[in-house]
């Protein structure tokens, strides 16, 4: 059995704002921009939460509930800087760290007791060190898998430590409300409530068949989670080095347009692989083999990692156009993504226009991932 930590920074953006401006301490602080604008609350302090505010709520509604709050646009580059500082601190101590978002980390503590002492003692020391060195508060959940560790880190916030002892998973989960399970939200919550499910224990006592009738595969997963089972594998950045796909043609191709269509299809496949495993890639390479077997590769490293088909395809296509110079047929084309990491640039790091485009593309890519790559094409030939 493993020992997994989920470390979640408390009101992270607000905490960073308070480092930048200590006069914000103890006040209701809201990060998310103009209180009369169309945006949403990216983060709010615990003082603001007392008025019913929570993240992701429209900022105008927040303003109605808490007109005397301090509304800030946010220093997003600073958040990334502090996030990296937390990550570096964790990686110095433990070999397997998975960054799950800008302010959340999973750590595999299995077998580390001999070096660091018991898991709860180490958690307390870690929490103190992050508070002392980086002035940032966090909460930690410790359990035998990632889902329970995440539920546990949220159990006592802020500055909480919750340890779910091995064998006590069901005991811990059973009395909690169903919406504590990550993924039970707007869509699934009403369905479950309408059938009388209130606690995680209710789900555990139901059957996987019944839940899968209600919710499909998610229902079966939910039953597993409610019974204390779950994923305990961390995706650390060292494990996956690359994602690649290539196609060898039955007959050599000469038409640039045709080859680009193949490249487009390969892009969809590698993009889906990335998204399935929650990776983003920063370096994009193509491989080209001529009919006489001369093989060339070209690569480009982007400023930011991405899992966006549009960016990947456009980069690969321009590499291809520059590389395909000989008047000889092509027998193989491949795409190769490297410099992978798990860090998600969260949606609010983008301005509105970029955000909307990203959301739309993400929705399209989800449909493709589910129903196959040819189900949707945007623009004339490929993604425009």
112-to-95, 118, 205, 239, 296 alpha-carbon distances in Å: 10, 8, 35, 20, 46
Strand pairing category for 138-143 and 161-163: parallel
Cα 31–chain centre separation = 20
Count of residues binding Mg ion (CB under 5 A)?
3
Q: How far apart are CA 2 and CA 166, in angstroms?
A: 9
Look up 104 and say whether it is catalytic: yes
47 vs 103 by CB, closer to Mg ion: 103
**Closest approach of Cβ 206 to Mg ion, in Å?**
30
- Picking from 334, 335, 314, the residue whose alpha carbon sits closest to that of residue 379 is 314
Q: How far apart are CA 255 and CA 324, in angstroms?
A: 11
8 vs 309 by CB, closer to Mg ion: 8
Q: Are 320 and 239 in contact (CB under 8 A)?
A: no
Residue 219, classed as helix, strand or coil, is helix
**Closest approach of Cβ 153 to Mg ion, in Å?**
8
Annotate each residue in 98-137 with x if it binds Mg ion (CB under 5 A) or - if it does not, as one string. Answer: -----x----------------------------------
Residue 68, Cβ neighbours under 10 Å: how many?
9
Q: How far apart are CA 247 and CA 256, in angstroms?
A: 15
User: Per rule CB under 5 A, is residue 17 in the interface with Mg ion?
Assistant: no
**Closest approach of Cβ 111 to Mg ion, in Å?**
27
Residue 317, classed as helix, strand or coil, is helix
Stretch of residues binding Mg ion (CB under 5 A), selected from 1-9, 194-202, 227-235, 297-305: 1-9
**Closest approach of Cβ 103 to Mg ion, in Å?**
4
**Closest approach of Cβ 26 to Mg ion, in Å?**
19
Q: How far apart are CA 305 and CA 131, in angstroms?
A: 29
**Closest approach of Cβ 13 to Mg ion, in Å?**
9
8 vs 308 by CB, closer to Mg ion: 8
Q: Which of 104, 169, 224, 260 is catalytic?
A: 104
130 vs 259 by CB, closer to Mg ion: 130
**Closest approach of Cβ 46 to Mg ion, in Å?**
12
105 vs 373 by CB, closer to Mg ion: 105
Q: What is the dihedral of CA 115, 119, 124, 128, to 10 degrees?
A: 50
103 vs 260 by CB, closer to Mg ion: 103
Q: How far apart are CA 213 and CA 4, in angstroms?
A: 31
Q: Which residues contact 75 (CB under 8 A, 6 or more apart)?
A: 16, 17, 20
- Exactly one of 3, 4, 5, 8 binds Mg ion (CB under 5 A); that residue is 8
Q: Are 297 and 286 in contact (CB under 8 A)?
A: yes
9 vs 62 by CB, closer to Mg ion: 9
Q: Could you say which residues in the range 46-105 bind Mg ion, by CB under 5 A?
A: 103
- Where in the sequence numbering do the catalytic residues fall? 104
Q: Which stretches of the chain bind Mg ion, using CB under 5 A?
A: 8-9, 103
């Amino acid at each position: 059995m493993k020992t997994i930590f989920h470390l979640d920074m408390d009101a992270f953006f607000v905490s960073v704002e308070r480092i930048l401006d200590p006069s914000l301490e103890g006040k209701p602080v809201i990060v998310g921009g103009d209180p009369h604008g169309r945006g949403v609350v990216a983060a709010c302090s615990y003082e603001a939460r007392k008025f019913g505010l929570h993240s992701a709520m429209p900022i105008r509604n927040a303003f109605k509930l808490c007109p005397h709050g301090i509304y800030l646009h946010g220093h997003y580059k600073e958040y990334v800087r502090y996030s990296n500082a937390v990550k570096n601190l964790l990686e110095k101590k433990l070999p397997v760290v998975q960054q799950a978002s800008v302010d959340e980390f999973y750590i595999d503590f299995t077998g580390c007791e001999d070096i660091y002492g018991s898991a709860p003692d180490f958690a307390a020391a870690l929490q103190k060190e992050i508070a002392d060195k980086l002035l940032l508060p966090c909460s930690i959940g410790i359990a035998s898998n990632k889902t329970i560790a995440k539920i546990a880190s949220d159990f006592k916030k802020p500055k909480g430590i919750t340890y779910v002892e091995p064998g006590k998973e069901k005991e811990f989960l059973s009395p909690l409300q169903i919406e504590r399970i990550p993924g039970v939200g707007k869509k699934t919550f009403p369905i479950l409530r309408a059938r009388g499910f209130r606690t995680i224990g209710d789900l555990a006592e139901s059957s996987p068949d019944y839940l899968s009738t209600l919710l499909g595969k998610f229902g079966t997963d939910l039953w597993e989670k409610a019974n204390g089972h779950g994923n305990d594998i961390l995706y650390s950045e060292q494990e996956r080095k690359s994602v690649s796909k290539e196609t060898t043609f039955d007959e050599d191709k000469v038409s640039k347009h045709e080859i680009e269509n193949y490249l487009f299809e390969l892009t969809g496949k590698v993009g889906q692989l990335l998204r399935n495993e929650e990776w983003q890639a920063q370096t994009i390479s193509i491989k080209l083999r001529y009919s006489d077997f001369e093989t060339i590769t070209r690569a480009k490293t982007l400023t930011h990692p991405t899992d966006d088909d549009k960016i990947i395809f456009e980069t690969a296509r321009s590499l291809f156009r520059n590389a395909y110079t000989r008047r000889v047929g092509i027998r193989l084309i491949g795409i190769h993504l490297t410099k992978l990491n798990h860090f998600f640039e969260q949606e609010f790091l983008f301005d509105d226009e970029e955000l909307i485009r990203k959301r739309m593309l993400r929705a399209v890519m989800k449909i493709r991932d589910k129903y196959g790559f040819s189900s949707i094409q945007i623009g004339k030939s490929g993604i425009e």
